[in-house]
């Protein structure tokens, strides 16, 4: 049944209609942290939360290795968006908040995105950001500079409301107040 | 039904959670109301949640259809479209678990 298929969990690349790229970045990260491929996503989320993706704070298993400062923020975020992972909307949402910072090295991120074939994911986030935070970097830069390699199927990537915080719709105050989720910087 | 009456109905349906707290009463919305809220977006994550909910508390088709027709969907075209698109999917999910 279509409904059941929709709820299954193919690799992200397949959902997007792309070839599954075997990522050298992911291999490097697995070697770096010592996690097997089926746990590395959880480790990446833990590292991103520790670096400021605060909306996704949770308890992580105690046996996950600590963060490794050798891994740059840009590599960490791109690794979360890889098509090789089984689809997990949280990975993409965490990457979006982590990258939403003036500290992101935007040209480096764009280069890495092309190398690791995650341009469709970052362009999706950038398109949503353009609606709610049009000036926010790195998104406006990526919208202008990343190649539009692939037209993704509708609903293959997280809904816009997954990238923002918003108040409820009420009959008293009209529409909701919607805010783009930005990275919590050190000292905030 | 007016908006305040619908809120009162939803409050009547809420379920008390037994968290062992002496001075605090904690409630959650009824399963049917949780499903309605998730239908306002109904992405894959929401549908997984709905599937989990109907597994915990199987709901007859008639009850769901009545709830859909009575739901006060916000007057936002995108939400209305997503809600209406979710109706047959939620009915199919619920039918699997009856």
* Residue pointed to by tokens 């009850």: B63
Contact B3, B19 (CB under 8 A): no
Mean predicted confidence (pLDDT) in A155-162: 93
Mean predicted confidence (pLDDT) in B39-50: 94
| pLDDT above 50: residue A100 | yes
* Residues from chain A contacting residue B89 (CB–CB below 8 Å): 3
Q: Of B6 and A77, which is predicted with more confidence? A: A77
Provide the H-helix boundaries in A20-105: 24-33, 37-50, 73-80, 89-99
Mean predicted confidence (pLDDT) in B63-76: 90
* A155/B76 touch (CB, cutoff 8 Å), yes or no: no
Whole-number pLDDT of residue A9:
79
Whole-number pLDDT of residue A4:
40
The reply to whether ipTM tops 0.90 is: no
Instruction: Answer whether A89 touches B (CB < 8 Å).
Output: yes
Whole-number pLDDT of residue A177:
82
* A7/B43 touch (CB, cutoff 8 Å), yes or no: no
* B3/A171 touch (CB, cutoff 8 Å), yes or no: yes
| pLDDT above 80: residue B97 | no
| pLDDT above 60: residue A6 | no
Mean predicted confidence (pLDDT) in A136-143: 96
Mean pLDDT is lowest, of A112-121, B35-44, B70-79, for B70-79
Instruction: Answer whether A169 touches B (CB < 8 Å).
Output: yes
Does the pTM exceed 0.90? no
Give the span between the Cα atoms of A35 and A175, in whole angstroms. Answer: 44
* B48/A158 touch (CB, cutoff 8 Å), yes or no: no
| Residue in A closest to B95 by C-alpha | A3
- How many beta-carbon contacts under 8 Å exist across A and B? 29
* B44/A1 touch (CB, cutoff 8 Å), yes or no: no
Q: Of A165 and B75, which is predicted with more confidence? A: A165
Q: Which of A7, A155, A158 sits opposite B51 (nearest CB)?
A: A7
Q: Which of A6, A158, A161 sits opposite B47 (nearest CB)?
A: A6
| pLDDT above 60: residue A1 | no
Mean predicted confidence (pLDDT) in A58-84: 97
- Mean pLDDT for chain A? 91
Whole-number pLDDT of residue A173:
58
Mean predicted confidence (pLDDT) in B36-51: 94
CA distances from B93 to A139, A157, B35 (A): 37, 22, 11
Whole-number pLDDT of residue A5:
41
Question: Please, which pLDDT band fits residue A2 given cuts at 50, 70 and 90?
Answer: very low
> B11 CB contacts (<8 Å, ≥6 apart)?
none
Smallest CA–CA separation between A115 and chain B, in Å? 28
Whole-number pLDDT of residue A72:
98
* A158/B43 touch (CB, cutoff 8 Å), yes or no: yes
Mean pLDDT is lowest, of A141-155, A174-188, B18-32, B35-49, for A174-188
Helix (H, G, I), strand (E, B) or coil at A177: coil
Mean pLDDT is lowest, of A3-7, A25-29, A121-125, for A3-7
**What is the rounded end-to-end Cα distance, in angstroms, of chain A?**
48
Question: Please, which pLDDT band fits residue B76 given cuts at 50, 70 and 90?
Answer: confident
* B51/A6 touch (CB, cutoff 8 Å), yes or no: no
């Amino acid at each position: 049944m279509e409904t059941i298929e929709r709820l299954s969990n193919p690799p992200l690349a397949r959902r997007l209609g792309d070839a599954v790229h075997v990522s050298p970045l992911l291999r490097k990260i697995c070697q770096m942290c010592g996690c097997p491929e089926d746990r590395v996503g959880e480790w990446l989320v833990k590292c991103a939360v520790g670096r400021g993706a605060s909306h996704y704070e949770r308890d992580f298993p105690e046996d996950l290795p600590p963060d490794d400062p050798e891994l740059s923020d840009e590599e960490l975020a791109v690794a979360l968006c890889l098509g090789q992972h089984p689809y997990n909307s949280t990975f993409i949402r965490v990457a979006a908040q982590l990258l939403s910072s003036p500290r992101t090295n935007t040209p480096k991120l764009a280069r890495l995105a092309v190398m690791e074939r995650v341009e469709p994911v970052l362009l999706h986030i950038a398109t949503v950001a353009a609606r709610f935070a049009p000036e926010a970097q790195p998104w406006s830069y990526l919208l202008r500079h990343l190649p539009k390699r692939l037209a993704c199927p509708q609903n293959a990537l997280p809904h816009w409301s997954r990238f923002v915080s918003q108040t409820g719709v009420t009959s008293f105050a009209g529409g909701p107040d919607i805010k783009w989720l930005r990275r919590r910087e050190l000292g905030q | 039904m007016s908006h305040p009456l619908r809120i009162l109905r939803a409050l009547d349906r809420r379920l008390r959670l037994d968290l062992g707290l002496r001075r605090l009463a904690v409630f959650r919305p009824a399963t049917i109301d949780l499903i309605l809220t998730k239908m306002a977006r109904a992405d894959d994550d929401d549908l997984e949640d709905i599937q989990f909910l109907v597994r915990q508390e199987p709901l007859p088709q008639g009850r769901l259809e009545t709830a859909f027709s009575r739901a006060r969907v916000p007057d936002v075209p995108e939400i209305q479209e997503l809600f209406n698109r979710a109706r047959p999917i939620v009915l199919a999910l619920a039918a699997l678990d009856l």
